[in-house]
């Protein structure tokens, strides 16, 4: 989701304090279960929506108002009193807490010179275009597994000087598709993925239960990318590329670029293991664990690289710049959370579930689930963010009523959202790529189409086999 317009200093400071208050209040509520914190979170969430609307883009403003008005109407028709109305706010604060903290994981990467190491490896003597594509997608896959959307600009910036040395007909397309596809695949399984967090939160599931199937699909799709690239992109391309220039050294250290990347991989593994262990130990939900672990883990990583002194200054500046520009996110997600809670309190979710139940009866379980990614893609073209669509589906779909295993439904919802990140023009991913290479999101979606189709086929097969 794109950031909102440049805020005025006074309004920016106010929103920063308000947004941080929402995040802190959510964490206090989750850890202490203090009833007063729930009321305060509802009040802060309502205030955050009101404060965000003037700074939001037109589409975000319209969608948020629709969510709030529709939710208010449902609660009014159901006779819910003002206490119930107030309590309906704050439902998706968990996701905003995650989004507020996650960007700090990119700070030790930047301070440690890992971006320069990626560029140096890509500037090494890769044999040809196909091998370059394999290397790029692997590096984007690794970065996306813990840096989320920050992986896209890092990879695109690192690729640009290296790609010039290879006989690639459309270099912009190569850079955009490779970075995007490599980034979106870890969304399937990584614990820092907002999609995984939303689905597990909605369906009350454990991350370890789904991890093997999601990680296996992610790796299969990475292999499929290489096959599709070889079949469709390598026609007429020489087997070997022009030898690129000698590799550059990683910044600020004498370590080789490969050694730096191995350090990064070790950091990724440590983060995933740490999150998994804490989730099993604390039993407070994956999203809350990631939110709590991200900051101290990023600091520890920076200390290990000798950048502990610079970490807090960099992280603080990043948060102060980013938070007040997140009006779109706070407006839409808090508005959608209110709408979802209003559906539940008013009983409208039962009516929605009946519609899905009838579809399920006509189509059968497998066809119903296989069509769900296409429904999510249609919603994304209508301007609905993937996380909003998945959260609302998670609220509406009751696996026990539909006769679908919760793990099967969770797998389908996560897989469906990843398709929208590849193809949805309003998902945020393509918008970020557009801001870097100045190519329209619809053209980017067209470039991604063959790979998205391959992904959809593998996803359908996985759903049918589950």
Looking at per-residue pLDDT, the higher value among 431 and 130 belongs to: 130
Buried b / exposed e over 152-190, threshold 16 CB at 10 Å, is bbbbbebbbebbebbebeeebbbbbbbbbbbbbbbbbbb
Query: Residue 427 pLDDT more than 80?
Result: no
Q: Region 194-201: what's the mean pLDDT?
A: 88
Q: Region 317-336: what's the mean pLDDT?
A: 89
C-alpha 18/C-alpha 12 separation (Å) is: 10
381 CB-contact burial (10 Å; exposed 0-12 / middle 13-18 / buried 19+): middle
Three-state SS string over the chain comes to CCCCCCCCHHHHHHHHHHHHHHHHHHHHHHHHCCHHHHHHHHHHHHHHHHHHHHHCCHHHHHHHHHHHHHHHHHHHHCCCCHHHHHHCCCCCHHHHHHHHHHHHHHHHHHHCCHHHHHHHHHCCCCCCHHHHHHHHHHHHHHHHHHHHHHHHHHHHHHHHHHHCCCCCCCHHHHHHHHHHHHHHHHHHCCCCCHHHHHHHHHHCCCHHHHHHHHHHHHHHHHHHHHHHHHHHHCCCCCCCCCCCCCCCCCCCCCCCHHHHHHHHHHHHHHHHHHHHHHHHHHCCCHHHHHHHHHHHHHHHHHHHCCCHHHHHHHHHHHHHHHHHHCHHHHHHHHHHHHHHHHHHHHCHHHHHHHHHHHHHHHHCHHHHHHHHHHHHHHHHHCCCCHHHHHHHHHHHCCHHHHCCCHHHHHHHHHHHHHHHHHHCCCCCHHHHHHHHHCCCHHHHHHHHHHHHHHHHHHHHHHHHHC
Query: Residue 57 pLDDT more than 90?
Result: no
Looking at per-residue pLDDT, the higher value among 66 and 439 belongs to: 66
Confirm if 328 and 57 have CB atoms less than 8 A apart: yes
What is the predicted pLDDT for the residue at 125? Answer: 61
- pLDDT-wise least confident of 253-262, 282-291, 427-436: 253-262
C-alpha 381/C-alpha 427 separation (Å) is: 9
What is the predicted pLDDT for the residue at 235? Answer: 67
Give the start-to-end residue ranges of the domains of the chain: 125-245+364-466
**pTM of the full predicted structure?**
0.84
Query: Residue 253 pLDDT more than 60?
Result: no
Q: Region 285-294: what's the mean pLDDT?
A: 90
Mean pLDDT, the chain, whole residue set? 86
Confirm if 345 and 84 have CB atoms less than 8 A apart: yes
Q: How far is CA 62 from CA 67, 69, 166, 390, in A?
A: 9, 11, 45, 19
Q: Region 131-152: what's the mean pLDDT?
A: 86
Looking at per-residue pLDDT, the higher value among 366 and 254 belongs to: 366
C-alpha 295/C-alpha 301 separation (Å) is: 10
Q: Over the stretch 178-188, which tens digit does the pLDDT of each residue have?
A: 989 888 999 99
C-alpha 348/C-alpha 253 separation (Å) is: 59
The Cα angle at residue 213 between residues 209 and 218, in degrees rounded to 5: 130
Confirm if 418 and 184 have CB atoms less than 8 A apart: yes
pLDDT bucket at 300, cuts 50 / 70 / 90: very high
C-alpha 392/C-alpha 67 separation (Å) is: 11
Query: Residue 194 pLDDT more than 90?
Result: no
Tokens of residue 262, six digits: 């191995």
C-alpha 237/C-alpha 233 separation (Å) is: 8
The sign one gets for the Cα dihedral 332, 36, 193, 416 is negative
What is the predicted pLDDT for the residue at 3? Answer: 46
C-alpha 223/C-alpha 281 separation (Å) is: 34
Q: Over the stretch 64-118, which tens digit does the pLDDT of each residue have?
A: 999 999 999 999 999 888 889 999 999 889 989 988 888 888 888 888 888 888 8
């Amino acid at each position: 989701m794109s950031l909102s317009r440049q805020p005025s200093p006074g309004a920016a400071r106010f929103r920063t304090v308000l947004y941080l208050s929402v995040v802190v209040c959510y964490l206090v509520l989750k850890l202490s279960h203090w009833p007063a914190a729930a009321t305060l979170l509802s009040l802060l969430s309502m205030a955050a929506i009101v404060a965000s609307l003037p700074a939001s883009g037109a589409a975000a403003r319209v969608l948020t108002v629709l969510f709030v008005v529709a939710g208010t109407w449902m609660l009014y028709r159901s006779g819910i009193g003002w206490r119930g109305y107030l309590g309906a706010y704050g439902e998706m604060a968990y996701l905003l807490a995650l989004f507020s903290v996650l960007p700090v994981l990119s700070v030790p990467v930047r301070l440690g010179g890992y971006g320069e190491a990626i560029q140096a490896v890509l500037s090494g003597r890769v044999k040809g275009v196909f091998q370059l594509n394999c290397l790029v997608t692997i590096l984007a896959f690794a970065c996306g597994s813990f840096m989320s959307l920050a992986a896209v600009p890092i990879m695109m910036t690192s690729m640009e000087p290296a790609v010039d040395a290879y006989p690639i007909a459309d270099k912009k397309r190569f850079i955009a598709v490779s970075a995007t596809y490599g980034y979106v695949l870890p969304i399937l399984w990584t614990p820092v993925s907002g999609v995984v967090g939303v689905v597990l939160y909605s369906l009350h599931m454990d991350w370890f239960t789904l991890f093997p199937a999601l990680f296996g699909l992610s790796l299969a799709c990475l292999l499929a990318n290489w096959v599709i690239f070889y079949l469709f992109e390598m026609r007429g391309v020489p087997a070997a590329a022009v030898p690129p220039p000698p590799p550059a050294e990683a910044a600020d250290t004498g370590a080789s670029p490969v050694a730096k990347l191995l350090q990064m991989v070790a950091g990724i593994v440590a983060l995933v293991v740490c999150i998994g262990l804490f989730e099993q130990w604390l039993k407070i939900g994956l999203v809350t664990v990631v939110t709590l672990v991200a900051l101290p883990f990023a600091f520890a990583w920076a200390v290990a690289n000798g950048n502990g002194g610079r970490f807090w200054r960099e992280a603080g500046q990043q948060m102060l710049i980013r938070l007040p520009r997140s009006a779109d996110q706070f407006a839409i997600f808090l508005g959608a959370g209110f709408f979802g809670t209003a559906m539940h309190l008013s009983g409208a979710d039962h009516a929605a579930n009946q519609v899905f139940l009838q579809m399920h009866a006509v189509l059968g379980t497998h066809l119903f689930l296989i069509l769900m990614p296409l429904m999510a893609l249609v919603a994304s073209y209508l301007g609905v963010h993937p996380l909003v669509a998945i959260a609302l589906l998670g609220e509406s779909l009751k696996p026990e009523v539909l006769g679908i295993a919760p793990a099967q439904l969770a797998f389908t919802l996560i897989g469906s959202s990843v398709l929208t990140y590849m193809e949805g023009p309003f998902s945020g991913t393509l918008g970020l790529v557009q801001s870097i290479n100045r190519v329209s999101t619809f053209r980017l979606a067209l470039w991604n189409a063959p790979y998205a189709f391959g992904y959809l086929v593998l996803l359908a097969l996985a759903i049918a086999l589950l």
